[in-house]
Amino acid sequence: MLRESVRALAEAKIAPHAAEVDEEARFPQEALDALVGSDLHAVHVPEEFGGAGADALATVIVIEEVARVCASSSLIPAVNKLGSLPLMLAASSELKARYLTPLARGDAMFSYCLSEPDAGSDAGGMKTRAVRDGDHYVLNGVKRWITNAGVSDYYTVMAVTDPEKRTRGGISAFVVEKGDAGVSFGAPEKKLGIKGSPTREVYLDNVRIPADRMIGAEGTGFATAMRTLDHTRITIAAQALGIAQGALDYAKGYVRERRQFGKPVGDFQGVQFMLADMAMKLEAARQLTYAAAARSQREDTDLTFFGAAAKCYASDAAMEITTDAVQLLGGYGYTRDYPVERMMRDAKITQIYEGTNQIQRVVMARNLP
């Protein structure tokens, strides 16, 4: 029922704008309005804060179905979870209530600030500093590759509080608000895909925030950041599933209609084998992603492995499936008149963000079940 309702909403209110959003590289406001109107913009927020209290699998299904028609729009529920999950994992009850309640209402969006110009895969190499000053902290630094930056109202920011300890107790997490003095944003990145989701730098210039905006205890930020990614890598797997499903669905319909040599292209065995392989890879990715989501919900000890495996496998599969979809459409697949080239471009980022797939393989190797 959840899948059917989200799919109906996505096809009616999000899909019609997807090509335009990509072409104009603009934020998908129609999608945000539709998702907020149906309480699907942040389904993971617990009921006590006014949210739907959806479990990890339900959240995966929402993201998957939105991504099936528009990958950029699927980053609304996905990044709302990424940005706010550190609070759910580690914040005080007061901080949770202050920020999760407006998120659940749809009055605000959340972003996640971990990466920096010189700290991507090596997130522990960050340079952003947070210095204690009485009852406040003063933050200075630059965060890069921040999804929905400039649109989101709230930002979970990781910053160094003890340079000597670094990842072993020297990094802390804070909530920074868009309106805080000293917060500004760089120009939107000009990207290959997910063009409707703004990606910008976040500049912190002597940003003075109350100490009670720290998420958890001082020095626990890096551990919270890594725990967050264990859970949210599964949402990237979900996004990859949706993109791949959209491409497969379109390709299936196309080869039934397109005729060559006097019959539908789909009647040729070579084409049928391609479709079979695409469907098989997609279903394998889906099963792994759902298994990881179940582990996320239970907080199983092997979550780290399964989260990395789901993200890595599903995104690799999505890249292969969307590439094959373009091939099945032939020359038409290479044009912007058809959606599969957009899906192919969108799929690429799922292999890169929230940890490149090379990093996922390192994570898996270190956490073999």
In whole angstroms, what is the distance from residue 63 CA to residue 40 CA? 9
Asked if 354 is an active-site residue, the reply is: yes
- Tokens representing 271? 């084409």
Give the active site residue among 64, 65, 201, 354: 354
Question: Which DSSP symbol is given to 119?
Answer: B
Residue 65, number of CB atoms within 10 A of its CB:
27
State the DSSP H helix or E strand holding residue 138, giving kind and residue range, or none if neither.
strand 136-147
| Residue of 332, 354, 337, 329 whose CA lies nearest to 146 | 354
Q: Which helix (H) or strand (E) holds 171?
A: strand 171-177
Tokens describing residue 273: 């084998």
Q: What is the DSSP letter of 264?
A: E
95, 102, 265 from 149: Cα distances, Å: 21, 18, 44
Distance from chain centroid for Cα 338: 24
- Closest of 270, 152, 173 to residue 217, by C-alpha: 173
Calculate ∠ Cα 322-327-329, nearest 5°: 100
Contacts of 291 (CB under 8 A, 6+ apart): 306, 310
Enzyme catalytic residues: 354
